[in-house]
């Protein structure tokens, strides 16, 4: 029987907006943010499935096994998701004064298209490097999606429930990412050439996710656009902002000089945010240093399969992230980002120390006996458990922590600076970790531990100063 006019909308509202089923628990949220929340939940369920296939750990395993990649190639691909974020400052500047949803869909579409092209990559000695370039380009556009999405969250969700909503959205994305990681491991174990159709298929799912997000609305966007129009008029520039960029505007907005000037302006004006970014730099460097070494230990020293490698490197941490998200979200809304970061960093520190013990167990042994093998495997397993639990908190703080310092007008710029600094450490931290491991072996984990401790002290100092001021 055909639905009456508006019947589809009524059914949609019944299912998702607080009706009898209330599948996404929208009824527990303020009324004005329910529509945006439901649309994003539907979008992220599909988008998380696509994004899971282009995670750094998954792609590093594919590079190591399918393309017989060297330690250098593994390190490059492990670092790719991070140094792709280097352009996020450009995305943040580009986003200011323009319609965020259109920019998000354009960036997501570019990332999906590039991921689909992986199916045509030749399986040759140079194929691994072509694969690395494709992943780098896809992740570059996906970093823009993350930057614009957090700006949407600030517009659409009140601060008092933002941590809770972020946790739920991240839960949807991460849970589907786990499914994608497990599925890719199974498919590649059956056929190392599965990348020829796996990546185009995942890209199709990503395209469907883009269609869903087009139903999103951005609260208050007209007022923000008017503010930027007045700002431009005050600077003697045309007040009307084109929906898409004119060629001369691209050069002006995305020039390194302009981007660095914007970053310098924010970091010199907002010293507390600058110190917060500095603390994140130390924490991020410590974490990124050890990632290529863990991939090498898992795929080479322990010789695990695609599925086992994906499970230990990505799938297990993602599952634990899902378990830990609600508790971290409640803590974030209760104590704020600075005290939250202190507690969260303790977890990251523990994962680094335990991974260092695993590396110490296998370092220097040409052939592992069964006792050493299972000791190293158990320690790596414990390290990834602690890493995954800590990542639950990191997923919240990384996405909305900068909002503690920014205004509505500058939210995307602050996010762009924060994510670009993530990319900056991605340019050197994994390579530094690989170089130290080649020359120092397991002692590189001592350096990573010391760097993490510096970051934790800086977060603690900021939290104490804020508490004293309050």
- How do the pLDDT tens digits run along the chain, 470 residues long? 344 434 444 344 444 444 556 677 777 787 877 888 888 899 999 999 998 888 777 888 888 888 887 888 888 887 777 767 777 667 777 776 677 888 889 999 999 999 999 999 998 878 889 999 999 899 889 888 887 887 788 778 887 787 788 888 888 888 888 888 888 888 888 888 888 999 999 999 999 999 999 888 877 667 666 665 566 555 554 544 444 444 434 444 555 666 678 788 889 999 999 999 999 999 999 999 999 899 888 888 888 888 888 889 888 998 898 889 889 988 988 888 899 999 999 999 999 999 999 999 887 666 677 888 899 999 999 999 999 999 989 988 887 888 888 876 677 778 778 877 887 888 889 899 999 998 998 999 999 999 999 999 999 999 999 888 76
Q: Is the dihedral of CA 393, 143, 257, 252 positive or negative?
A: negative
In the block, residue with structure tokens 């914007």: 262
- CA torsion, points 323, 327, 330, 333, in degrees to nearest 10? -90
pLDDT of residue 242: 46
Rounded CA-CA distance 131/138 in Å is 11
Rounded CA-CA distance 81/63 in Å is 14
For residue range 164-220, list pLDDT tens digits in order.
Answer: 888 888 888 888 888 888 888 888 888 888 889 999 999 999 999 999 998 888 776
**Under a CB-based contact definition with an 8 Å cutoff, are residues 448 and 433 in contact?**
yes
**Under a CB-based contact definition with an 8 Å cutoff, are residues 351 and 384 in contact?**
yes
Tokens read off for 153: 């969250």
**Under a CB-based contact definition with an 8 Å cutoff, are residues 348 and 466 in contact?**
no
pLDDT of residue 247: 42
SS3 per-residue string spanning 35-104: HHHHHHHHHHHHHHHHHHHCCHHHHHHHHHHCCCCCHHHHHHHHHHHHHHHHHHHHHHHHHCCCCHHHHH
Q: According to DSSP H, which parts of 311-369 are helical?
A: 316-335, 337-362
**Under a CB-based contact definition with an 8 Å cutoff, are residues 314 and 291 in contact?**
no
Q: Which of 267, 262, 412, 275 is nearest to 337 (CA)?
A: 275
- CA torsion, points 316, 318, 323, 326, in degrees to nearest 10? 160
pLDDT of residue 249: 47
CATH number for the domain whose boundaries are 16-237+246-469: 1.20.1250.20
Distances (CA, A) of 309 to 223, 261, 294: 49, 43, 10
Residue 6 DSSP code: T
Q: Which of 437, 286, 446, 448 is nearest to 362 (CA)?
A: 437
Question: Does the predicted TM-score (pTM) go above 0.85?
Answer: no
pLDDT of residue 224: 64
In the block, residue with structure tokens 């393309």: 67
pLDDT of residue 326: 85
Rounded CA-CA distance 280/423 in Å is 12
List, in order, residues 6 or more apart from 440 with CB less than 8 Å away: 447
């Amino acid at each position: 029987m055909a639905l009456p006019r508006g019947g589809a909308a009524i059914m949609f509202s019944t299912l998702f907006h607080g009706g009898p089923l209330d599948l996404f628990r929208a009824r527990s949220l303020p009324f004005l943010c329910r529509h945006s929340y439901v649309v994003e939940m539907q979008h992220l369920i599909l988008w998380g499935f696509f994004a899971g296939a282009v995670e750094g750990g998954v792609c590093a395993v594919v590079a190591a096994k399918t393309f017989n990649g060297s330690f250098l190639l593994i390190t490059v691909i492990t670092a790719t998701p991070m140094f792709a974020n280097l352009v996020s400052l450009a995305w943040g500047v580009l986003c200011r004064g323009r319609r965020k949803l259109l920019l998000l869909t354009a960036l997501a579409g570019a990332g999906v298209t590039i991921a689909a092209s992986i199916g045509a990559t030749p399986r040759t000695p140079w194929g691994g490097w072509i694969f690395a370039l494709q992943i780098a380009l896809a992740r570059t556009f996906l970093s823009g999606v993350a930057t614009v999405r957090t700006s949407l969250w600030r517009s659409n969700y009140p601060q008092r429930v933002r941590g809770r909503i972020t946790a739920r959205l991240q839960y949807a994305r991460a849970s589907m990412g786990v499914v994608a990681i497990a599925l890719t491991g199974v498919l590649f174990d059956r056929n190392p050439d599965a990348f020829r159709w796996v990546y185009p298929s995942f890209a199709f799912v990503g395209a469907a996710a883009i269609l869903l997000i087009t139903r999103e609305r951005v609260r208050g966007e007209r007022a923000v656009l008017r503010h930027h129009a007045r700002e431009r008029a005050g600077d003697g520039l045309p007040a009307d902002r084109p929906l898409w960029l004119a060629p001369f505007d691209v050069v002006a907005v995305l020039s390194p000089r302009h981007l660095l000037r914007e970053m310098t302006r924010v970091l010199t004006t907002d010293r507390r945010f600058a110190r917060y970014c500095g603390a994140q730099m130390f924490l991020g460097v410590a974490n990124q240093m050890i990632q290529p070494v863990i991939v090498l230990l898992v795929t080479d020293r322990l010789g695990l399969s695609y599925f086992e490698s994906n499970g230990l490197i990505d799938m297990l941490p993602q599952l634990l992230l899902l378990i830990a998200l609600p508790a971290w979200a409640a803590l974030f809304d209760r104590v704020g980002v600075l005290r939250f970061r202190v507690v969260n960093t303790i977890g990251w520190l523990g994962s680094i120390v335990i991974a260092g013990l695993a590396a110490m167990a296998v370092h220097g042994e040409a052939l592992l006996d069964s006792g050493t093998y299972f000791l190293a495997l158990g320690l790596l397993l414990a390290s990834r458990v602690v890493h995954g639990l800590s990542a639950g908190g990191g997923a919240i703080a990384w996405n909305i922590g900068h909002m503690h310092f920014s205004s509505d007008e500058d939210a995307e710029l602050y996010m762009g600076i924060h994510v670009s600094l993530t990319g900056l450490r991605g340019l050197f931290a994994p390579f530094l970790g690989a170089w130290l491991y080649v020359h120092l072996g397991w002692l590189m984990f001592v350096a990573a531990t010391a760097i993490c401790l510096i970051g934790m002290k800086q977060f603690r100092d900021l939290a104490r100063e804020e508490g004293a001021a309050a």
